[in-house]
Every structure is written in structure tokens, then in C-alpha cells.
Amino acid sequence: MMESFKFVTVAHPDEVKAKEQQHVIRTHAIRNTARKARNKAVTRKENFIIVDLDPKTHRPIRQKKGEQRATLTRSPSATLVDPFSCLPASPERLRVLMRHGAARQAGEPIFCVEEVGRIFFQGIDTVFHGALTDPALFHALSLTLALAANDDKPNVECLTHRGEVLKHLGNEVNDSSRVGVSTISAMLMLVGYEYRVDSDNKGAIALHIRALDTITRHSRADAQFSTGALSRALFWQDLMSSVIAGTDRFLSHGSFPEIFWSQPRCPLYPFYCHLRIGFQEIASHFHPEMIAVLEDLNALCMMLDAKCSGEDLPIARMEIDNGQAWIESRLADLLSELRRSGEENAVYKVCIFATYLCTYKLSTSIWEGLLIPEFCAMQILRILQTPANDHLWDAFPELVVWLLFAGGAFAVKRRTKVTFAAFILGAHENRIGRFHREWETLRETLTRFVWSAHAMEPKYRQFWGALHSENFSFISAS
């Protein structure tokens, strides 16, 4: 550790004995000694952990499973996060945001925050070493996490970081030599912020996606872009922007040959690729491509169940990302086409959102985000609440049961689940009650639409159990 010195200027040897100089020297020595004592105390705390001892056996008390110690209200010292003061701002607040409960999936599809508070960038960690020294990326990361911590509602902190992001991105984009992986990542995070906060501002979202597409295409010759991870992240940002904000697609599944998923129509799976009986009754309301999508989704669910049960393989180890991308991208295109047409086809539209929700929840990767599930669930509710669509309850009661239970089981937020529960047990109970009062009856109804025993049945069963419990535990919880 570098010692701290205090220089005392004297013109004559006798001056060092003067009271004023003696006071300065003594004060500095005391202050320096106290600082060293504090640093040693901090070091000792970092090298040891606190354990509780049993007063009788004097042995460490094993912490019970699920028990958690209270988290620190103050983050660790900034010197531990940024020892060389290289970051463009103090990392203290960033460290606090990284440990916030809402931060874990806030950066989908660019990054996630691990439980210990470390950032994990999808597939591009090797080029991210030191990237937070880029002011644009530092403020973009802070912006994303601050928005999540404030329940996706922008506040002064968010607006401050957004202004910094735009300022630094403008400087970097104007100088092509400064454009790198950190610049593109910051732009990707900014797009995510925009469709989360202001989905009506399609122009700004589309402008940034178009700029990103141009930059990534012109930068592919650079070795740092060889992983393709940034292009894949851009694909998902473009897809999510289209579904949520209604922007035009720039990067469909046709732009990525590796996403093409032909496995379900392979001769090895002749019985997987078919339309579930529940959809057969309403197929006349669908575009032909929608029927193909539903067939592929059924194949994906059946293959997932077959591999999990046959090999006793944990679902977290299944690789189905390309299958999901292939289905979700086509659903997004169908939704865009329906929106442009202005056609009021409630059955078709609500089935697109419910199918997208089910496909998303098949995810076996790290993503368990809130945004897509909540958006799709709220769109299902909105369509079913529209007075003009009341005929759905009488004409297609089984379809409505699937829609309500898919929304309630796969939504993440408690208030959304409560809303679906109120619909199921509310004014329309006399129309759909017979389909869900017994679990086996409900299960038979759900299997007529989109079904995976491994990925979906536990969530359906949990929601149904809470719905029919005597105290309505998840409804009455504070």
C-alpha cells in the first residue's frame, strides 16, 4: 500500500520546532495512524465470516435451508469494486442496484445478474473485460437496473442515466473508430428501456434498432463480433419490440439460418407434428401459418416431454432455444400482419398472445423475466374484457378456460394472478365452472390446446390449487 506523506516546508532548522509546525506534524501522524487502523480492520472483516455458535456445544449453528441473513443496506466499499478509479462514475449505486431483487432478469436479452450480484453477459463475456469503463455502457447498465428497481417506472435517476447514455452514444457513433462491443451493448440496453417505458414511441425504437443493425453488419469483419452473440441479442430485442410496441421487424427468423428448426417435421417424429384437438375446432379463424406454428409448438412440447421422461433429464439442461426462436419469431410476424390489416379477429389475436406466452414459458435457459409474460397475460385479459368479445364465453368455453389458466399460471406478478383468479371465479363462473372445479377435468381441457407435462403441468396445478384452496393463499397474501 502506498504510504501517505505530508510535506512541511521550512526555511530554517529551528522552524521545525515551532508550535504551528509541530501541531501540523502531530495532526497528520494521528490521522495517518487512524486511517491505517481502519484499513486493517476492513481487511480482517473481508477475510473472515461471522458464524453463530451453539452456547452448549460451542459448535457452529448450521443455517436452516431457505433462511437468509438480512442484506446490507450499504454496499461494499467502492474501492473493492473499482480499485483503480477507472469507472466514469462511482460504482457504489451500481453495486446496490445489482443486488436489488428486481435486477436479476432486468437486462433480458442482453445480460442477467447472478444471485451473488455479478453480471453475466450472454456469450460475450470474453470481450467485456473492462468494458464498463465506457461511459455509455456504464450509464446504460445503471439505467436498466434503476428502471427495474423502480418497477419499470422512470424516475429522476433513470432520466439522468438516459441523458448520459444518449450523450456518450452520440459521441461514439460519430467517431466510427470508437464504436465497439460496449457501444452496441449500450444501444441494445437503450432499446430495451424504450419499449419498456414508452412503447408508443415506435419511431425512436425503430430508429435505434435500424442503427444497431447497420453497425453490426458493418462490424462483422472485426474479430470481437465473431461470436455472433450481439447479433442474436439484437434479434431478440427486435422481436420483443415488435410484440410489445408494434414496430416493424428488421431481423426476422429468415435473417438467421441457424434458427431454422426443421426437426419437428423430420421423419423421426411422425406423430409429434399435429394440431391439438382444441384448436381444430377453431382453425377456421386462423391464418394457415398459425396452424403450422401450433403444430411445431406441439412437436416441441412432445419432444421435450419425451426426452425428460425417457432420459430422466432435468429440464434446465434441455436445449430448445432455436425451436423457441423459430416459433416466437413467426408468431410475431403473424401478430404484425394482423395489426396492419386492422381486422378484428378476437379468437385469432388472443390465441397468438396465449401461444406466445406458452412458448416463452417453455424456456429452459436463464430467462424467467417479467416483461413478456406480464404483457401477454394483460393482452389476454384486455381481449376477454372487451364487451364485443362476450360471445367467446358461450361459443368457446373450453378455449376461454385455457386462456384464463395459461394467463394465471404463467403470469409472474401476484396482482396479475389475482386478476385472472377473479375472472375464473367471478361473473362467468356459471359458464366455465364445470371445466375447472375438478383437477382431472381441468387437465383434460388444457391438454386439448398447448400442453407439456414437464414444463406446464406443475405451474397449472399450483395455480389451480391456490385458486381452490379454502383460504385462497396467493389471493389474500399481502
Q: What are the pLDDT digits (tens) for 396-452?
A: 999 999 999 999 999 988 999 999 999 999 878 888 999 999 999 999 999 999 999
Which helix (H) or strand (E) is 113 found in, with range?
A: strand 111-113
Rounded distance between C-alpha atoms, residue 338 and residue 246, angstroms: 11
Compute the CA torsion angle 229, 235, 239, 242 (nearest 10 deg): 130
Q: Is the pLDDT of residue 82 over 70?
A: no
Q: How confident is the model at residue 56 (pLDDT cuts 50, 70, 90)?
A: low
Rounded distance between C-alpha atoms, residue 136 and residue 186, angstroms: 6
DSSP string, 258-319: GG---GGGSTT-TTTS---HHHHTTGGGS-HHHHHHHHHHHHHHHHHHHHHHHHT--GGG--
Nearest to 163 by CA among 130, 185, 190: 190
pLDDT of residue 37: 63
Rounded distance between C-alpha atoms, residue 111 and residue 231, angstroms: 14
Nearest to 107 by CA among 193, 211, 194: 193
Q: What are the pLDDT digits (tens) for 217-226?
A: 776 545 444 4
Give mean pLDDT, residues 37-41: 59
Nearest to 379 by CA among 246, 281, 231: 246
- Residue that wins the pLDDT comparison between 294 and 257: 294
Q: What are the pLDDT digits (tens) for 223-273?
A: 444 456 777 888 889 999 999 999 988 888 877 776 666 655 555 555 567
pLDDT of residue 66: 40
For 403, other C-beta atoms within 10 Å of its C-beta total 25
Q: What pTM was estimated for this model as a whole?
A: 0.76
Contact 315, 454 (CB under 8 A): yes
DSSP string, 205-241: HHHHHHHHHHHHHHTTTSGGGTT-HHHHHHHHHHHHH
CA terminus-to-terminus distance, the chain? 51
Q: Is the pLDDT of residue 312 over 70?
A: no
Amino acid at 31: R
Q: Tell me what the pLDDT averaged over the chain comes to.
A: 78
Radius of gyration over alpha carbons of the chain, in Å?
A: 28
Which three three-digit cell numbers place residue 23? Answer: 501541531
* The length of the chain, given as a count of residues: 478
Q: Is the pLDDT of residue 47 over 50?
A: no
Amino acid at 15: E
Q: Is the pLDDT of residue 95 over 60?
A: yes
pLDDT of residue 213: 82
Nearest to 236 by CA among 181, 292, 189, 298: 189
User: Is residue 53 classed as helix, strand or coil in its secondary structure?
Assistant: strand
Q: Is the pLDDT of residue 63 over 80?
A: no
Provide the β-strand partners of residue 53.
Answer: 60
Give mean pLDDT, residues 193-211: 88
For 212, other C-beta atoms within 10 Å of its C-beta total 24
Minimum mean pLDDT range among 34-48, 143-157, 238-252: 34-48
pLDDT of residue 203: 87
Q: What are the pLDDT digits (tens) for 361-397?
A: 887 556 667 789 999 999 999 999 999 998 889 999 9
Q: How confident is the model at residue 146 (pLDDT cuts 50, 70, 90)?
A: very high
Provide the β-strand partners of residue 60.
Answer: 53
- Residue that wins the pLDDT comparison between 335 and 59: 335
Q: How confident is the model at residue 104 (pLDDT cuts 50, 70, 90)?
A: confident
Peptide bond into 288 cis (omega under 30): no
Q: Is the pLDDT of residue 478 over 90?
A: no
Q: Is the pLDDT of residue 139 over 80?
A: yes
Q: How confident is the model at residue 325 (pLDDT cuts 50, 70, 90)?
A: confident
- Residue that wins the pLDDT comparison between 7 and 33: 33
Q: How confident is the model at residue 48 (pLDDT cuts 50, 70, 90)?
A: very low
Rounded distance between C-alpha atoms, residue 159 and residue 150, angstroms: 12
How open is the CA angle 320-347-325, to the nearest 5 degrees? 15
Give mean pLDDT, residues 70-96: 54
Contacts 24+ apart (CB under 8 A), 453-460: 453/305, 453/309, 454/304, 454/305, 454/308, 454/309, 454/315, 455/301, 455/304, 455/315, 455/361, 455/362, 455/364, 456/301, 456/358, 456/361, 456/409, 459/361, 459/409, 459/410, 460/405, 460/409
Rounded distance between C-alpha atoms, residue 432 and residue 177, angstroms: 62
Nearest to 151 by CA among 391, 415, 332, 356: 415
Q: How confident is the model at residue 75 (pLDDT cuts 50, 70, 90)?
A: very low
Report the range out of 185-189, 201-205, 226-230, 354-358 with the highest average pLDDT. Answer: 354-358
Nearest to 249 by CA among 230, 235, 259: 235
pLDDT of residue 73: 31
Q: How confident is the model at residue 280 (pLDDT cuts 50, 70, 90)?
A: very high
Which three three-digit cell numbers place residue 201? Answer: 414511441
Q: Where are the domains positioned within the chain?
A: 1-63, 87-246, 261-476
Contact 380, 407 (CB under 8 A): yes
Percentage of the chain surpassing pLDDT 70? 66
